[in-house]
Amino acid sequence: GRCKWFNVTKGWGFITPDDGSPDVFVHQSVIRMNGFRNLAEGEEVEMETKDADKGAEATVVTGPGGTECRGSHRQARKPTKTKRIRLNKLFVHIQRCYNCGAVGSHIAPKCTVGPQPKRCHQCKSEDHLISDCPNKLKKSRSSQTET
């Protein structure tokens, strides 16, 4: 068959079989290829299928002759872990590591410090979490008295 379309962000799409039967659902987890698994629109594929509740579903997808699929050049957009702040009249994006708190040098998955103990996001104490923070309670009480 041939890939009808494939959403790289959601990781699924449809293949049109060569025999004219209805389109077959394909999930990225059944695609045989290294790296980021996806299909290019119009890419020729071979597949094994099974019947599912909503129609045929691919169980294995390979390139012609059992080779790896080529895939699309498109990649899913990754969310950025930055904070937008205003500096004078410019807006800049600041990266902060959620593990060690360092600013600008790295993000948590690349942190060399190792896992840190859980702590309160409000006051940074390791004795409690933000849901039990005494400073948060003081802040909410003062805002209630102002209104």
Boundaries of domain holding 7: 2-66
Sheet holding 2-7, edge to edge: 2-7, 12-16, 24-27, 55-62, 46-52
Residue matched to tokens 């959601």: 10
- Whether residues 12 and 54 share a domain: the answer is yes
- Whether residues 126 and 143 share a domain: the answer is yes
CATH of the domain at 46: 2.40.50.140
**In the predicted model, is pLDDT for residue 83 greater than 80?**
no
Q: Do the domain assignments include residue 71? A: no
Tell me what pLDDT residue 67 has: 94
Distance from chain centroid for Cα 67: 27
Contact 48, 59 (CB under 8 A): yes
Distance from chain centroid for Cα 136: 32
Q: Do the domain assignments include residue 91? A: yes
Q: Which residue has the higher pLDDT, 117 or 24?
A: 24
- Whether residues 83 and 130 share a domain: the answer is no
- Whether residues 55 and 103 share a domain: the answer is no
- Whether residues 58 and 24 share a domain: the answer is yes
Tell me what pLDDT residue 73 has: 80
**In the predicted model, is pLDDT for residue 140 greater than 70?**
no
Tell me what pLDDT residue 131 has: 86
Q: Which of 81, 88, 9, 22 is nearest to 49 (CA)?
A: 22
Q: How many domains does the chain have?
A: 3
Q: Do the domain assignments include residue 60? A: yes
- Whether residues 91 and 135 share a domain: the answer is no
Contact 83, 93 (CB under 8 A): yes
- Whether residues 106 and 87 share a domain: the answer is yes
Q: Which residue has the higher pLDDT, 118 or 82?
A: 118
Q: Tell me phi and psi for residue 109, to 5 degrees.
A: -60, -20
Predicted TM-score (pTM) of the model is: 0.52
- Whether residues 147 and 109 share a domain: the answer is no
Distance from chain centroid for Cα 47: 26
Instruction: Give the tens place of pLDDT for each residue, 89-105.
Output: 776 667 777 777 787 77
